[in-house]
Amino acid sequence: MRLEVVQAGEEGLRAQARELSREEILGVKTRELIEHMKETLRHAPGVGLAAPQVGFPIQLAVIEDREEYHKKLTAEQLSERQRRPVPFHVLINPHILRSDDDSLEFFEGCLSVSGYAAVVPRAKAVTVEYLDESAQTKRVEAVGWYARILQHEIDHLAGILYIDRMKTRTWTTLANLERYWKDVSTSEVRARLEERPQL
C-alpha cells in the first residue's frame, strides 16, 4: 500500500521523532510500515523516505539508490558526486557518530518539498550507527552521495528539512533545474548567482 507523503508546513515534519523499542521494531506493525514505505519510495521515485514524511513520528527511515536512477547523469557527474547504487535498507534510531570536516555542495530535493531543489552543503563522509529491522546494531561508513542521503534522512528524524540548510539563492523549481542548471557544476551555479546583487 502506498502512503501519502506529507508536504512542508505539516506540523509533524518539524517534530523530533521518538526512538523505537526492540519490541516495537520486531512487531508486525513496524514490518508492515517498512513494506509500505518501500512501495511509496519506489513509486515516487526517491532515494530515501523517513517515517515522519508519511505521518509516523518515529525514528525509522528507508534508503535505496537504484542504478536506474543514475541514467540521466553523466559518468563525470556520477564520479563528482561519488554516487553508486545503494541497496534497500532500513535505519532505526540512527545516530551520526562522525562527520567529515570537508563538505560538498550539490542540488538536493525532497519528497516533502515537492517540485523544488537547492544547493545544500553536506559532510563528504559520515559514520552512522543504527538498528536494522531485526533490531541488530549496524554501523556504516558512507561517502559521497550515500553520505548525503543518510544526513538528509537523519535530519528528517530531528524535524529538519533541507531548506533549513540550503543556499537560499540557489532554490529553484525542478523544471528550472532541468532547464538551466542540470549540466552546470555547483561552483558555476554559485558563481553565477553570487554575481547578482544581494537584497
Cα 154 from Cα 104, distance rounded (Å): 17
Q: 32: part of which helix (H) or strand (E)?
A: helix 28-43
- Cis check: omega of the bond before 45, within 30 degrees of 0: yes
Q: Which residues contact 14 (CB under 8 A, 6 or more apart)?
A: 159
As beta bridge partners, residue 139 has 129
Looking at 67, 141, 153, 194, which residue is catalytic? 153
The dihedral formed by the CA atoms of 125, 129, 133 and 86, expressed in degrees to the nearest 10: 10
DSSP 54: G
Look-up of cell digits 528550472: 176
Q: Can 76 be counted among the known catalytic residues?
A: no
70 and 83 in contact (C-beta within 8 Å)?
yes
Active site residues: 153
